[in-house]
């Protein structure tokens, strides 16, 4: 019998009959065998497939639960008080419930990315067909997350459908475990959290592979163009069309319409959040100029709307404020929703003519419309913006208070403190109000960068003072100057780049990768990102950006008027600054680590997740930073990094994720691995100390980053470089030499070169180490040996036979 293949078949004798074969049992294994690819032990793992690996991680990095609420109110047995780790009516205790709550957030985030992925994949298959090849740059390993997890090596858009089938099925299984009367052990919820995070990176990868392949986005391009960013770069004298969200599918039709009708110079097209990033990637892979501007992050949404500048707002999905329609209505700005995930109760006008929709919205018969037909959307949005611009100008729309009104509003304040207490960052609003009475509005200006524009102050004020509008009005000069440059998202790191840099990362001579990802809920303003990135870049770390962090980094300039994107090159090399792209491009960060294992170390990648994760855990000095993490997606992204052994630090607001994974450096037994050469146990440094934790300030964060890039595989030069940065950053930002520096020393050549003699003296005097002063060598003292041939592994089965 001949082998069946997937595809569509007709049978000659039967008219109007077509047989479609979608999937063939064992096809992955068969295809891999034909291509000589060895499939590892866990292609498409189920919930328990990688449980042993999770348990290994969780034995070193224990969950730390910090509940946001002491109750469980999931079912009608309760509400149940779980304080002091009590059990509720269903038998679940506080620990397990907190783990369950975390799981819910992680799979919510993963579902947001996967839902996005499925939507854009369907859309692009509809436009380009299932056989459209995946083209993401000069790489053979084009889908590292997908391949490591599922064993599938996708080549076409159609191949990605099977990947999404797997992700969606697993997410459903995970969601089922949230139900009352399911899982009861915190440790297994933890394993499920890591599973959800892993799935998230596959879903994100599918999204970005599909859009890069079809939408002309940069393909592993270190020369991706620079893009204008900031509220100040919007020319409000032109009609302004603002797009908000994450899914660029429909927006590309708008961009095509603007281009085809020569409207580029006649109107402004600008975006907020990741749709903005992907708009600027659209059709730039052949060196074309970006066709849109970036306003900024979620933190700019309310400020932008309340400025009254947009003439039309188009929203798609994710990180879009729930009150966009209400806020826009107040300023006569029509809103168009374009995705089933956000419809705001608007009438579906997808089958109506563009002319009818424009007429109804421009005469305010309806405040907005749901348009799911992107051809209709493409015409309506720009034409409506042009029309509304004139109408709104004639109406004399007034958005923000005048200076006189600012003073009057300040005087209305009774200094009750409700706004400050409700402000997520407890910002000093009362002091600004006091100064405002005397026409000193500088304290409102001070609040501008620190404020995340959530609007809770407005809601809290018993006098109905529009606090946010006052901050925005007082900061108009600053806002006008908010003009920066961001490098457009370049997509994944290519195989040749990995070949060039992989060895330096594994040996530590490139001190590490600092991946600054996530949202804009910063504890102390956006400039902190710049400070962290600049400090680490100066020290030759590779800094990788994505999503909202990538945007905010472009807002600041140094004394020469340069942004960091202009100052630093964008290759995958030490001291380079990379923007991989939007939220879904985060998969390229984990993908990079997987590629190092697969390409540099020649580890089998297909369906071989545990071995790959084990390699990364012990050898790749990478730390994620989600300084302004607020979303469920950030939680799932971090969890996906964690399953690969990549630690993540979130800002202090991240403590509200209610669970961290932190090790105990003082428990020596927790810091041992096997040497795969003979299965013997070997001690390792307590780094990374955590898989997920928080830092209080960037001054605390900076030495944490350097320390947690240390890995067992560092050679002496690498360890010396990493230790030097850790000690210097501690001295610079914490004012002292760290207490634990000597624990990372294996031999005298690990010591920072400039201070070697001084440190040897300290080792002898304070720690009792024996030093040969003639040769300046350490004779005894270190708890670890320096052995570059050692093969550290956490997985016993990876040791040589007989171990």
Partner 1 sequence: MVDTTKNTQIYTTWGRKMAKPVNPNVAGKMIAKAKRPLLVVGSEILKDEKLVEKTIAIAKKGIPVAATGHSITALVDKDVDAKYINVHSLGHFLGDKNWAGLDGQGPYDTVIFLGHKKYYLDQVLAGLKNFTDLKNLAIERHFMQNATLSFGNLKPEVHLEALDELIENI
- Binding-site residues, in ranges, read 69, 72-73, 75, 80, 90, 113, 246, 274, 319, 413, 416, 419, 423, 451, 454, 457, 461, 519, 548, 583
List Cβ neighbours of 541 (8 Å cut-off, separation of 6 or more). 510, 511, 512, 513, 514, 574, 575, 705, 709
Pick the closer one to partner 1 by CB: 31 or 664: 664
Summarize the annotated binding site for [Ni-4Fe-4S] cluster as residue ranges. 246, 274, 319, 519, 548, 583
Compute the distance between CA of residue 367 and CA of residue 703 in angstroms, rounded to an integer.
Answer: 51
Triad 66, 69, 70: Cα angle to 5°: 90
Residues 23-82 that bind partner 1 (CB under 8 A): 62, 64-71, 81-82
List Cβ neighbours of 521 (8 Å cut-off, separation of 6 or more). 299, 424, 452, 628, 629, 630, 651, 653
Cβ atoms of 319 and 309 within 8 Å: the answer is no
Write the burial class of residue 19 (CB in 10 Å: 0-12 exposed, 13-18 middle, 19+ buried).
exposed
Tokens of 739: 């207490």
Pick the closer one to partner 1 by CB: 431 or 803: 431
Q: Which of 421, 754, 779, 788 binds partner 1 (CB under 8 A)?
A: 421
Residues 737-776 that bind partner 1 (CB under 8 A): 738-739
Q: Which of 91, 417, 569, 773 binds partner 1 (CB under 8 A)?
A: 417
Pick the closer one to partner 1 by CB: 475 or 730: 730
Q: Which of 10, 59, 83, 182 binds partner 1 (CB under 8 A)?
A: 83
Pick the closer one to partner 1 by CB: 115 or 703: 703
Pick the closer one to partner 1 by CB: 662 or 717: 662
DSSP β-ladder status, 368-370 and 335-337 = parallel
Task: Print the binding letters for residues 522-541 with partner 1: x by CB under 8 A, - otherwise.
Answer: -x------------------
Nearest-approach distance from CB 797 to partner 1, in angstroms: 30
Task: Locate all alpha helices (DSSP H) within 353-485, ordered by sequence.
Answer: 354-362, 374-395, 403-412, 418-422, 429-437, 442-450, 456-460, 467-474, 476-480
Nearest-approach distance from CB 327 to partner 1, in angstroms: 23
Cα torsion through 468, 473, 477, 479, rounded to 10: 40
Our finding on whether 299 is near partner 1 (CB under 8 A) is: no
- What is the per-residue DSSP string for 341-390? TB-TT--B-TTS-HHHHHHHHHTTSSSEEE---HHHHHHHHHHHHHHHHH
Our finding on whether 653 is near partner 1 (CB under 8 A) is: yes
Q: Which of 658, 711, 719, 722 binds partner 1 (CB under 8 A)?
A: 658
**Which residue from 662, 744, 732 is spatially nearest to 703, judged by alpha carbons?**
732
Pick the closer one to partner 1 by CB: 24 or 69: 69
Pick the closer one to partner 1 by CB: 351 or 736: 736
Q: How many residues bind partner 1 (CB under 8 A)?
A: 49
Nearest-approach distance from CB 55 to partner 1, in angstroms: 19
Cβ atoms of 269 and 383 within 8 Å: the answer is no
Cβ atoms of 156 and 134 within 8 Å: the answer is yes
Compute the distance between CA of residue 149 and CA of residue 566 in angstroms, rounded to an integer.
Answer: 36
Q: Which of 34, 84, 404, 559 binds partner 1 (CB under 8 A)?
A: 84
Pick the closer one to partner 1 by CB: 240 or 705: 705
Tokens of 210: 């599909």
List Cβ neighbours of 779 (8 Å cut-off, separation of 6 or more). 769, 770, 771, 772
Nearest-approach distance from CB 729 to partner 1, in angstroms: 11
Task: Print the binding letters for residues 676-715 with partner 1: x by CB under 8 A, - otherwise.
Answer: -------------xx--xxxxx-xx---x-----------
Summarize the annotated binding site for CO as residue ranges. 113
Cis preceding linkage at 79, omega within 30: yes
Task: Print the binding letters for residues 423-462 with partner 1: x by CB under 8 A, - otherwise.
Answer: -xxx------------------------------------
Q: Which of 496, 652, 683, 781 binds partner 1 (CB under 8 A)?
A: 652
Task: Locate all alpha helices (DSSP H) within 563-608, ordered by sequence.
Answer: 564-567, 587-595
First to last CA, the chain: 45
Our finding on whether 668 is near partner 1 (CB under 8 A) is: no
Question: What are the residues binding partner 1 (CB under 8 A)?
Answer: 62, 64-71, 81-85, 94-95, 417, 421-422, 424-426, 523, 652-653, 655-656, 658, 660, 662, 664, 666-667, 689-690, 693-697, 699-700, 704, 733-736, 738-739
């Amino acid at each position: 019998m001949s082998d069946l293949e997937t595809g569509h078949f007709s049978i000659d004798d039967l008219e109007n009959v077509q047989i479609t074969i979608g999937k063939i049992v064992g096809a992955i294994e068969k295809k891999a065998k034909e291509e000589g690819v060895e499939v590892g032990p866990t292609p498409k793992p189920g919930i328990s497939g990688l449980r042993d690996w999770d348990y290994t991680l969780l034995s070193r990095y224990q969950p730390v639960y910090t509940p946001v609420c002491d109750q469980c109110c999931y079912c009608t047995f309760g509400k149940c008080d779980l304080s002091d780790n009590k059990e509720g009516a269903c038998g679940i205790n506080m620990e397990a419930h907190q783990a369950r709550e975390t799981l819910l957030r992680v799979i919510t985030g993963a579902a947001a990315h996967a839902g996005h992925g499925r939507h854009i994949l369907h859309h692009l298959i509809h436009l380009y067909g299932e056989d459209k090849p995946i083209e993401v740059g000069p790489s053979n390993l084009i889908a590292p997350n997908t391949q490591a997890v599922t064993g599938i090596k996708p080549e076409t858009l159609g191949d990605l459908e099977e990947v999404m089938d797997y992700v969606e099925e697993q997410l459903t299984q995970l969601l089922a475990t949230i139900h009352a009367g399911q899982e009861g052990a915190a440790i297994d919820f933890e394993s499920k959290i890591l599973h959800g995070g892993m799935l998230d990176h596959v879903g994100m990868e599918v999204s970005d592979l599909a859009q890069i392949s079809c939408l002309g986005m940069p393909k592993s391009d270190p020369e991706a163009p620079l893009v204008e960013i900031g509220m100040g770069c919007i020319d409000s004298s032109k009609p302004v069309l603002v797009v908000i969200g994450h899914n660029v599918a429909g927006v590309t039709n708008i961009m095509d319409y603007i281009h085809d009708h020569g409207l580029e110079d006649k109107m402004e097209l600008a975006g907020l959040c990741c749709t903005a990033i992907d708009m600027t990637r659209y059709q730039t892979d052949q060196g074309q100029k970006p066709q849109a501007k970036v306003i900024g992050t979620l933190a700019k949404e309310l400020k932008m709307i309340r400025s009254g500048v947009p003439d039309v707002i188009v929203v798609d999905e994710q990180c879009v404020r729930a009150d966009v329609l209400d806020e826009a209505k107040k300023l006569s700005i029509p809103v168009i929703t374009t995705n089933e995930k956000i419809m705001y109760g608007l009438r579906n006008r997808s089958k109506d003519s563009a002319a009818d929709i424009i007429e109804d919205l421009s005469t305010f018969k309806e405040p907005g419309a749901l348009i799911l037909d992107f051809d209709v959307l493409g015409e309506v949005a720009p034409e409506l913006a042009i029309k509304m611009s004139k109408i709104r100008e004639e109406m004399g729309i007034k958005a923000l208070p005048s200076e006189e009104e600012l003073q009057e509003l300040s005087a209305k304040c009774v200094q009750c403190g409700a706004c400050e207490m409700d402000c997520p960052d407890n910002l000093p609003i009362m002091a600004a109000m006091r100064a405002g009475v005397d026409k000193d509005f500088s304290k409102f200006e001070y609040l501008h960068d620190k404020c995340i524009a959530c609007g809770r102050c407005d809601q809290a004020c018993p006098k109905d003072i529009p606090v946010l509008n006052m901050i925005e009005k007082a900061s108009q000069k600053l806002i006008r100057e908010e003009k920066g440059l961001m490098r457009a998202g370049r997509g994944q790191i290519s195989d040749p780049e990995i070949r060039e840099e992989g060895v330096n990362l594994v040996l530590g001579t490139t001190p590490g990768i600092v991946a600054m990802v996530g949202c804009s809920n910063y504890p102390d303003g956006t400039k902190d990102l710049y400070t962290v990135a600049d400090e680490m870049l100066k020290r030759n770390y590779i800094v990788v950006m994505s999503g909202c962090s990538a945007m905010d980094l472009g807002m600041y300039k140094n004394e020469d008027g340069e942004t960091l994107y202009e100052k630093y090159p964008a290759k995958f090399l030490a001291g380079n600054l990379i923007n991989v792209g939007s939220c879904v491009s985060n998969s390229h960060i984990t993908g990079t680590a997987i590629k190092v294992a697969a390409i540099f170390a020649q580890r089998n990648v297909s369906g071989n997740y545990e071995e790959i994760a084990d390699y990364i855990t012990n050898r790749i000095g990478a730390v994620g930073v989600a300084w302004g993490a607020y979303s469920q997606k950030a939680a799932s992204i971090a969890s996906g990094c964690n399953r690969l052994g990549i630690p993540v630090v979130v800002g202090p607001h991240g403590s509200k994720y209610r669970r961290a994974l932190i090790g105990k450096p003082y428990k020596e037994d927790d810091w041992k691995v096997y040497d795969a050469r003979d299965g013997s146990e070997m001690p390792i440094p307590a780094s990374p100390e955590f898989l997920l934790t928080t830092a209080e300030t960037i001054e605390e964060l900076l030495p944490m980053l350097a320390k947690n890039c240390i890995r067992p595989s560092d050679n002496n030069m690498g360890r010396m470089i990493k230790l030097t940065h850790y000690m210097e950053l501690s001295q610079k930002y914490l004012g002292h030499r760290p207490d634990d520096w000597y624990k990372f020393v294996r031999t005298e050549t690990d010591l920072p070169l400039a201070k070697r003699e001084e440190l040897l003296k300290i080792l002898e005097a304070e720690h009792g180490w024996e030093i040969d002063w003639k040769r300046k060598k350490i004779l005894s003292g270190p708890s670890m040996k320096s052995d570059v041939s050692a093969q550290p592994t956490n997985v016993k089965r990876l040791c040589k036979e007989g171990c």
